[in-house]
Structures are given as structure tokens and as C-alpha cells.
Amino acid sequence: MAELKLPISEKEIRSLVVGQFVHLSGRMITGRDAAHTWLMQEYRAEVAPYLKDTVIYHCGPVVNQKDDGSWEFVAAGPTTSIREEPYQADVIARYGLRGVIGKGGMGPMTLAGLERSGAVYLHAIGGAAQVLAEAIPRVEKVFMLEEFGVPEALWVIHVDLFPVVVSMDSHGVSLHDAVEADSKAKLKELIASKA
């Protein structure tokens, strides 16, 4: 399985295609519902360097604060991404993100945004909170913890061989569109089979 180092170049991202399994290593940031609205309200210069050329992880972790004040992720799987559909393409373009990690896939606005900006959607396994937390050895810092609470804060994290699969690439291909179309055709067939 290929290992991709973060930060990553547009060229490397554009070489990825749907169905490829990859391991990510390096620095990324978490952000979900409150974060996406906040990132679009105005340009957040303090967070921008942590978004540039890396990926945002749709994740609301369980976090433990150790005695020395440092943080560790106790459980950290992906949350459903489709809620960020209204914002995602703009967040990618505005902050120079190279990808999104989440689950469940995203819609046509994001797919078009990935192609335009040179980014990918990476699917992590939903609910695999222990497997994924083990791939996050370090928490560097956190933004908006007081305001958004633990699940919604933006956590700057370091990952080591974090496992994902490309399910939407920068060439306009979405695995989710294909599966949805096939399942809708099958539903029609099933309904027609019984009157």
C-alpha cells in the first residue's frame, strides 16, 4: 500500500484514482460541522497554515488530557461527511486543502471542487475508532476548543500510516455515485419483481 506524506503536492494528489488504498503520514487537522461554517464566515489566518496542502479530517474524537496538559486521542473514527457538502468545495479552494477524510462520501459540489482545486476524498472506515486512534500518535494543538467543545474543535494532529481509501478523485470519479446508481437500479428491479 502506498504511503503518502503530508503536506502533499497537487501533482501527487492528481495521480490518485478511486479504489486506491493509501496510508497517510504527517500533519493534518480535524474539522466538522461548526468548523466548516466558521472557516467560511471569514478567512481564519491563524488556522490557514494548518490547512494548506494537507487534509481535513471529519472527526469528532474522544480526547484525554494528560497530567502534563498534553492531549491524546482515545477514539477517533470519521463522521458522516455529507453534512459539509454546502461548504466543502469552498473551504478546499479558500485554504488550499489537498483532501478530505470522512465517511459516506460527498455530493456533486464537492466532486466538482476536487477536480477544480486538485484534491481528493479519502474514505476512512466508519466506527473504526480504535484502529484509527492508534494511527494518531500526537496531538499538536487545538483551535476553538472552548467555543465548540471537544468533538467540534479543530485538532492539529500527526498521523502515522493512517489507513484510507480514495473514493472520490480529482478526475470527476466518485465510487459513491456508482454504488448509488447501481442500488437504485436494483431497487426498481426488486419492486417490479413483486406486485
Partner 1 sequence: MFNNVDLVETFTELIRRASTQLPAEVTDAIERGRAREVDGSMAQKALDTILVNITKAGEKSAPLCQDTGTPVVWIKYPVGVSTKRLKEDFTAAVHRATELKYLRPNAVNTLTGMNTGNGAGRGIPCIHFEEWDEPGLDVRMILKGGGSENVGIQYKLPDSRLEAGRNLEGVRRAVLDAVVQAQGKGCAPGVLGVCIGGDRVSAYEHSKEQLLRPLGDTNMDSDLAALEERLLQETNELGIGPMGFGGKTTILAVKLGVLDRLPACYFVTVTYMCWADRRAFARINQEGAISWLS
Q: Annotated active-site positions, please?
A: 36
**Residue 188 CB, nearest approach to partner 1 (Å):** 10
The 71-110 site mask, x for binding partner 1 (CB under 8 A), equals ---xxxx-xx-xx-------------------xxx-----
Single residue of 2, 5, 19, 137 touching partner 1 by CB under 8 A: 19
Contacts of residue 171, Cβ cutoff 8 Å, sequence gap at least 6? 14, 17, 115
Give the three cell numbers for residue 44.
481564519
The 22-41 site mask, x for binding partner 1 (CB under 8 A), equals ------------x-------
Cβ(75)–Cβ(97) below 8 Å: no
- For binding to partner 1 (CB under 8 A), which residues are involved? 19, 21, 34, 59-62, 64, 74-77, 79-80, 82-83, 103-105, 123, 125-131, 133-134, 147-152, 163, 165, 167, 175-176, 178-180, 182-184, 186-187, 190-191, 194
